[in-house]
Structure formats: C-alpha cells, structure tokens
Chains A and B, each alone.
Chain A
Amino acid sequence: MDLASQLALLAVEPMAAQLGNFAADRIGLVIGAVAGSLSTDAAYWSGHATAGGLSPTLFIYTLPSSIIGELSIRHKITGPGLCSVGANAPLLDESAALLRSGEADAVICANIQVISTPLAALLQQPEAAVAHALLLERHGPGLREWHQNDRDIKQVFATLRAQI
C-alpha cells in the first residue's frame, strides 16, 4: 500500500465506530489528493531502470482514487465515491451536496498530500506527508473534526477552512 492510502486510513480510523451508525451504501467518500499519485508514480516508474523491474503492486496505487478503494474495503463502505486532484478541489461543497441531495447520510471528506523525497527533487517542491479527514452527517450537529492521526493538520485544515 502506498503512503497516501496509509495516511488516509490512519486519518479515518478514529471514525470507525461512528461509521457503524450508517448503512454501508449510505456512506459517501469525497477525497482530495493534493498531489495526485505523483509520488507513487515516480516510485513505480523508477523501477523500469532497475534490476528489480516494475512493480505491479505499486502500479495499482498510481491511481489517486486507490485511496477510495482502500477506505471502502477497510470500512466496508459501498456508497458513492469522488476523487479530485489538487489543493483547491471543492471537497466540502461536494460532500455537502451528497448529503443535501439525499445520496448519502454520511460522508467521509479527506484531503491527502504526499510529496516524496524523489518527487520533491524531480519537481523541485518541498516534501509533504499530510492527511486530514472529516465526517459529515446528514442530520448531524455540523462538521466534526478528526485529527488524532494528522501529520500536519494546519496546512490541510487551512485549505479546507478556506472553502467553507
């Protein structure tokens, strides 16, 4: 499993008990992959020039939406999923829309950013390993913040706040 999926699982894990309050097909997943899957892309593609060769396991994680797959498998969530790339994806808007339209009773809204050391060097950007997740309920009291497992809450939460 790549680092982005691992971070997403850690950020969402504290919600596990609450998720049990909802039917599996009534929980949605709205995911923002700030840097897409580029770190995993770089790791996968580096294999073509090495003795070990390309890794089929890594290739699976060269889709940003693999985070949805891992979260849905871990928590047995069968509702709709939405994955966007970039720092400005309208995650909260889309989460709220799923609730308002009645497509979901609860939505896990998560933002993940991974820029590995090799990718940082390749793209000349700072390294990052961040995940932040919120659970939104259709009839709940409002946004619930979950940050027990955040690696750098400030940056991502600021991104989310800016969109509220």
Chain B
Amino acid sequence: MREATPAAYAALAGWGLICATGKTAATLHAALQANRSALAVAPRFSAPLFQTNIVGAAPREESDDPAWELAATALQEAVGGVARLLRTIPAARLGLVLSTTKANIEALERISAGRPCSASARHHLRAEALAADLAAEFGARGPVQNISNACVSGLVALVQGAKLIQRGTADAVLVVGVDHLSAFVVSGFSTLKAIDPRGCRPFDRHRCGLSPGEAGAAIVLLRPDLAPAGTVRISGWGASNDANHMTGPARDGAGLAQAIRLALTRAQLAPAQVDYINAHGTGTAYNDAMESAALRSIFGTEVPAMGGLKGMFGHTLGAAGVLETIACAMALQDQFLPGTPRLEQAETGFPSRLMKQPRPAPGLKHVLKLNTGFGGMNGALLLEQTGKVAPAASLPEATRCGRPASAF
C-alpha cells in the first residue's frame, strides 16, 4: 500500500445534526444513552401509497426545500461548535463534500402536482447545486464535491473529505449528509415491500424491513496536526462492490468483508483490535444476515461488541453514514457502547456480542462503521480515539470493552 500512515488521516473536529431524535447533537447523545427510539407515526404517510406511517421524522417545518433546511441546520451547529478553529483556516482551504441520494426531491413532487415551488427549491433538485449553495453559505471556497453512492454515500463522502485533506487540497472539509422524508422515497420502499410496518427491528429474529428516516448530519474534518489532542480520527477505510444484484446483498457477505479487510489494512489494525462495530443494520432479513456473515468471515467466533442505530432514527439514506459516524464519535469521546434500539430477540446464529442496551466502555479505542447500499456497494470506516484511554487489560472483566457483562 502506497498511502501515508494512519496519523495522516483526518480528525473529526466537530459535528451537528437534525434527525428524529431532535435538532441538535445533544438530542442524539441523550437518545443513545437512553437507547430511545424516536420512530413515530407520521399521518401524511398513510395507506394506500405507503406500507407504513411509522418513520423517523425530524422536527422541521413544512418547506419546499427540506434538503436545504436539514443540511443547513446541521452545518450551522457543526461549524458553530468549532468557529474559532475554522477562523484560522483560509476560505480557499475549506472544502465541502455533500452526501445525498435524492437531494431536494420534494421539488419534483411539487412541480408535478402544480404546487408552489421556489426557484431555489427547484435548483436544489440537483445535488451539485445544493452542494455549491451550501459551500457558499458556509464560506467554503475550497474544493466542493457531491457524492451519490446510495446508502453508502455518507461513508464515501467522509472518505472523500479525508482524501482532500490527505492530498493537501484542503485543511478542513465540511462533510454534510442529507436526505428528507418524501412521498417519493417512502412509496418506493413500499413498492419493494421493504418496510417493517411496525417499525424496524435490526438484527431481531422477527425483523421484516426498514423504517424510512430523514436527517441532516455534518462533520467538520480537520487536518490532524491542526486538531486538538484527543480528537477522534479516521484511521482507515475500505470500499467494494458485490457485483451480484441491484437490490439484494451478496448472501455470503464477501463484498462487505473485502471492504472491512481494506479498512483494517489501511489502519494497520488486526481484527482483534476492533472494540466495537456499528453495523448498517437496516432491519431487512437479507442485509442483517449478510452483515453477520461478513463479520464472521473476518472475526470468526470473536466478533466484537456490535449493534445498529436505525431503530432510533430510521434509515436516513444519504445522511446515514455521516449521522451514524457522529454516534460512533460520541461513543469514542464519552467511552460507551451504544445499544440497538428496538431489538427484542436477537436472531439465532447472529454474533453473540450484539448490544441490546448501551453500557460504559472504558478503553474504547477502535470503532468500525459499516454501510451497504443498493447496487451492491459496501463501505467500512475505522475511527480511533487518539486521546488517553484506560488500558483495557487493567479493567475489570465485566467492564472491559468487547466483553459484555451480559449478552444484551
């Protein structure tokens, strides 16, 4: 491998979000600590067009440009939290990478129905226009990219941001993921019968589909030498394609395993050094089984503590990778393992260290974040807590990271 050492990758200097848990990162943190699901009934998604009206809706006003509202809200919090640091970076050295699958698809619904739709809302139907306008609004005059890699978009956007820093093209990059709930998307998953009418139950024995969600989620990536000590960093990544099926994952998980292997190699880590895995965990029968198979092929019977968060805020598509990475960064920062909201009975044969409830995890250092997407795309991202962490070996067995006191 011809790449720089992990020390050269990007640091996660700050973040902001809006999702079903609320309008700030603090709401996500509280929901993670409480293992609270924020999935709820949204009457506008009633039958017959939709399979369910249980979704992960963010607290936002009705708008003709929800993509902008969500992304800008998240960026405002993220940028505001590190404003002093960002002031030291020239605007031309600040980049922006947008992750979205449908941008402002609300505009298409409105135009088709002859409903009012502003010029900017119409403009933001195009991801590149949304990215350019967000960059202008938040003073990013460096490189601007948009990524549309299905449900892996968020992880790919974070990797692109890290690469811009690694190549010396930018000192800081605003990575923002956004997708909003729409009749378009919820009806689409309904036509595929991919939604769990009761709300998703990732890794559960009775899981039968996903829950649509929406979010804006933003992370400020920073050149590592500019970041304060102890900042969570990206230490590795991997990407692959199944080359198997447009909507179904390869049953053996070989594609995802390939992405995990690449991430471990890049981070110069052995599988046994991974403390926690935050899975894609959509709650569909095939995805969760495929992820379990992929993890077994890498970790054997010693799969680390793992879980998934879509039972908390739903599947936020293009925002998922960024939003779930923020949750992982919070876990690393505050040394805890998130639970798996809405998981009741774990599927037989799935990894035994599936976390049902959150718990403290002193010593948590390496977290593996996974996402997969339509078309067979896979992504793996490794995060590292670079600050002082309690050495795992000196901790009591019951609290040692990766060895749960009880299975759930």
Contact = CB atoms under 8 A, between A and B. Distances in A.
A149 interface: no
B111 interface: yes
Interface stretch (A10-18, A43-51, A139-147, A153-161): A43-51
B128 A54 contact: no
Interface string B367-389: 00000011111000000000000
B231 interface: no
B399 interface: no
Interface in A38-92: 38, 41-42, 44-46, 48-49, 53-56, 59-60, 62-66, 68-70, 72-73, 75-90
Given A63-B374, A69-B246, A82-B147, A101 B2 contact: yes
B148 A73 contact: no
B375 A68 contact: yes
Contact of B375 (A35, A63, A78, A102): A63
A36 B239 CA distance: 22
Contacts of B153: 65
Given A38-B125, A102-B3, A45 B112 contact: yes
Given A68-B377, A72-B375, A73-B376, A36 B188 contact: no
A25 interface: yes
B68 to A, nearest CB: 16
A98 to B, nearest CB: 10
A65 B150 contact: yes
A66 to B, nearest CB: 6
Contact of A86 (B128, B156, B184): B128
A83 B149 CA distance: 6
Contact of A54 (B1, B143, B191): B191
Contacts of A80: 239-241
A48 B402 CA distance: 48
Given A24-B243, A48-B187, A86-B128, A63 B148 contact: yes
Contact of A65 (B3, B148, B188): B148
Contacts of B240: 25, 78-80
A78 B243 contact: yes
A87 B129 CA distance: 11
Interface string A84-108: 1111111000100100111000000
Tell me the interface secondary structure of chain B in the complex.
Answer: mixed
Nearest to A5: B246
B148 A84 contact: yes
Interface stretch (B57-65, B100-108, B202-210, B344-352): B100-108
A122 interface: yes
A120 to B, nearest CB: 13
Given A36-B103, A85-B126, A65 B149 contact: yes
A29 interface: yes
Contacts of B3: 101-102
Given A48-B187, A63-B150, A82-B147, A42 B374 contact: no
A59 B243 contact: no
Contacts of B273: none
A26 to B, nearest CB: 11
A57 to B, nearest CB: 9
B192 interface: yes
B241 A68 contact: yes
B243 A72 contact: yes
Contacts of A53: 191
Contacts of A9: none
Given A48-B183, A59-B188, A89-B145, A36 B375 contact: no
Contacts of B102: 41, 62
Interface string B84-112: 00000000000000000111010011011
A97 B163 CA distance: 9
B128 A73 contact: no
A89 B2 contact: no
Contact of A78 (B108, B258, B374): B258
A84 B241 contact: no
21 contacts: A36-B103, A38-B125, A41-B102, A48-B187, A56-B188, A59-B192, A60-B246, A60-B374, A68-B241, A72-B375, A73-B243, A78-B240, A79-B241, A82-B149, A84-B127, A85-B127, A89-B128, A90-B143, A90-B145, A94-B160, A123-B125
Interface of B: 1-3, 49, 101-103, 105, 108-109, 111-112, 122, 125-129, 143, 145-150, 153, 156, 160, 163, 167, 183-184, 187-189, 191-192, 239-247, 255, 258, 373-377
Given A66-B375, A73-B246, A80-B241, 8 more contacts: A38-B108, A45-B184, A65-B373, A73-B244, A81-B149, A84-B147, A122-B108, A123-B122
